[in-house]
Structure 1
Amino acid sequence: MMWPSVALLLFVTLQRLGELLYARHNTLALLSRGAREVAAEHYPYMVMLHTVWLAGLWLLAPDRPIDLLWFAVFMLLQLLRIWVLVTLKERWTTRIIVLPNAPLVRSGPYRILRHPNYAIVIGEIAALPLAFGLPLYALVFSVFNGVILTVRIRAENAALSRTMLQA
């Protein structure tokens, strides 16, 4: 077992668990303000994908060296993730939660991309396995992630379009 690899996996695991708690808090607060969840049927598949992705890395990567270039890419993505979280504040969730009559966030990374968080996740799903020298793993999970994100982004865009028409 190599301690840097275990430390990186522990960091990602704790980060994801913390984000789930933050997302749950935000989801409940938004729902109490009249928001509603849309397209919930895909959510268990997304959770399963991320759980299997991380669990598989725990099985395959603890004894592998870390490629510093891909590690740097992954850490840059973490800084971008923080930018998204700070920009969205209480509106950041892991589910598609729509708050009626609320304007779309157009500041921070949302000035540049419509879905910056998903771009970051695409990068993470590939970069972390690549940091451990697992290119096939990165490819397989990137394909599955692409399928789920296609469904999710379509559903989110439709929900946001409906909300903007009502505003």
Structure 2
Amino acid sequence: MLLFFGLVMAVVVLQRLIELLVAMRNARYIRLKGGYEVGASHYKYIVLLQLLFFLSLIFEVLGKGSSMVLPSWWAVPFSLFLIAQGLRYWCIRSLGKRWNTRIFILPGEAPIKRGPYRFLRHPNYMVVSLEVLLLPLTFSAVATALTFSLLNAWLLLRIRIPLEEASVYDGHSES
């Protein structure tokens, strides 16, 4: 199990690092088009939450020591996690150069209504919520799954989504 866990963690961390590079490239594009960021003051908490999530997951799984085995039902949350990855990339592709880990406003542009955004207002946030729950459950890290699902929900529902909604429906667009 340790090898599988290490491989999955390496892929997910690499995925996040690549996404940060894409987000930085997209931020430059949006700024060149006259866009600007809103809510920058809370972004450090999102980064901190993600960092603490990964550290908690690693410590909880490795803390099991020699008793570390995959639960018999590991394939269910892991399969759902993989489906969420497909949805993640559908979101990124649908938003194109407007996708970002930050909230950017591009004045005069309407919100994207293609891809999963035809069905949900914030599908990418749903993906993040699923990941924070499902990845730890794959490895029986129940404390990490519950703790960070609650923290993530609080951050999204109390800060991130209201800020994005206020910006979008103040005559701006979402990214």
Q: Same fold (TM over 0.5)?
A: yes
Contact kept in structure 1, 2:57 and 2:141, CA below 8 Å: no
Residue in 2 aligned with 1:136? 143
For 2:170, which of 156, 162, 167 is the aligned residue? 162
Q: How far is 1:41 from its partner?
A: 1.1
Residue in 2 aligned with 1:46? 46
Contact kept in structure 2, 1:71 and 1:128, CA below 8 Å: yes
Residue in 1 aligned with 2:23? 23
What one-letter code is carried by the residue in structure 2 that aligns with 1:78?
Q
Residue in 2 aligned with 1:7? 7
Contact kept in structure 2, 1:110 and 1:116, CA below 8 Å: yes
Name the TM-score, length of structure 2 as normaliser. 0.89
Residue in 2 aligned with 1:65? 70
Where structure 2 has 5 or more consecutive residues not aligned to the other structure, the ranges are: 63-67
Residue in 2 aligned with 1:118? 125
Contact kept in structure 2, 1:84 and 1:117, CA below 8 Å: yes
Contact kept in structure 1, 2:35 and 2:105, CA below 8 Å: yes
When the two chains are superposed, the root-mean-square deviation of aligned CA atoms in Å is 1.5
Distance 1:6 1:124, change over 3 A: same
For 2:114, which of 107, 112, 121 is the aligned residue? 107
Contact kept in structure 2, 1:84 and 1:109, CA below 8 Å: yes
Contact kept in structure 1, 2:37 and 2:103, CA below 8 Å: yes
Percent of aligned pairs sharing the same letter: 37
Question: Is 1:82–2:94 an aligned residue pair?
Answer: no
Q: How far is 1:164 from its partner?
A: 4.4
Where structure 1 has 5 or more consecutive residues not aligned to the other structure, the ranges are: none
Residue in 1 aligned with 2:36? 36
Residue-pair matches, total: 165
Q: How far is 1:11 from its partner?
A: 0.8
Distance 2:13 2:99 in 1: 19
Distance 1:9 1:47, change over 3 A: same
Distance 2:106 2:25 in 1: 15
The list of structure 1 runs, each at least 4 consecutive aligned residues, that deviate by more than 6 angstroms after superposition, is: none
Distance 2:104 2:56 in 1: 29
What one-letter code is carried by the residue in structure 1 that aligns with 2:57?
L
What one-letter code is carried by the residue in structure 1 that aligns with 2:81?
F
